[in-house]
Structure 1
Amino acid sequence: MQLNRERQRKIRNMLHRSCPKEGTPELELWERNQQSSPLLRLPPELRNRIYELVLDVGQINVRFKKWEHRQRTRNGQRYYETIEGGFWCLILDREQNPWRAPKGAYPPAARGMTLLSPVCRQLYHETVLLPFRLNAWSFESLHVMDRYVLKEKRLPKPHRRAIRLLYAQTVLPAAMEKYFGGLEVVVLDTGLTMVKKPVEISSEDGDRKVVAWDVCSREWK
């Protein structure tokens, strides 16, 4: 049965947020995997360290390629060849400026960010957000970011809110910043670095915390 995108998103969120209920076949399988898998038998601290070594790749740069229709000729007959397009990503060095990287210098990443998440429910539960939390994220352009994040909503809420470090060409609009939700550091093309910092403010209504951004600069590689 083919699931639409909204149904797929709900299933992913359910798998991430909840553990199997008592007395269900899913819980029996969960416990069986814990007993039979050498990886799942390791202490959580060791598993987390392994996940970090595998999934911390540096910087994930999201790009978009247009679909192409090229005219070809074979045996005197003309036809059109369709070259598939869509979103894809490059793996860059964490300190690399993604907008000044030589085009074609980096091969595209293999399909999918990790082969761990689809293995079983527990591995999905433990690893699905790590590529977003551990790596810097960047987009080919503001248009690509807007289309990927806001218009097509390619990132479910838990995934986009797991992103801590984002490289952006300009200061994010308030709507985009709010939509990500969990950003801690935003680095601009110029090297200007914005670090989120909670600030306590005293008022007649009592102390309250607000968010401010400290600004510093950095050098790209």
Structure 2
Amino acid sequence: AVPDIMRHFGVASDSILAHKATYFVGCFLFFAPCAAQRSLRELAIGIVLGVVTIFVFVGAMVVAFADTGGSGYSSSQDREKIRYFELHSEFMLLPGIVVGAFCSSNFVPQLYEELKDASPTVFSGSSDASSAVSTITYLIAAAVGYLTFGAAVASAASDGSVLNNYPPTTLWTTMRLLVVLHLLFVAPITLLNTREGLYRLYVRANALSSSRSADASAAVRYAQAAAVVGVHAL
């Protein structure tokens, strides 16, 4: 999204500011110190803004579709190719998205420790609610994007993101900027939990290797720590 934003403001396509690699490097340099925070509470503002920015973008998608029905955003030929009951070859990506939405909120070691009046019941309620909201948001964005652009969502111009199908107007450039801000706000949270997960993985690996009996509970705790790191690394 960032290269599109820069081109909207007149940056040449061959400029270093219009290439993704520039922003990958910049983001790494920005995120590294952000991930050094000690708790999720220190990232509270980023968490709230991360939620708000993505909801505004998805809301804009819904309003645009309700207003135009996709007319003006895609050709009638693309919309005529919409198939409501046909499975696409990439349908199997959906279970991964749903599982990712669940795991991202369920496998968060820091979250449990910082919950007020923490208990398995409180954590379960928080995790289930956030997983449901994440999954529903993903599905709304996917459904509205498909109904708006039809077959164009799988075109080369889409490049894996429905956001790329929207025109380079001021409105949608602003929406692209919100998505970029969303990633900036939530990435430190993921990195923080990845760091915490790596620490737990190290501790439990040591416990497992030093345990003479290598009991089943130690192995389970090690597997849980590995799962946490894997989810956040992905």
User: Same-fold call, TM > 0.5?
Assistant: no
The two structures have a TM-score, normalised by structure 1, of 0.26
Higher strand proportion: 1
The two structures have a TM-score, normalised by structure 2, of 0.25
Higher helix proportion: 2
Q: Which has the higher contact order (CA 8 A, sep 6+)?
A: 2
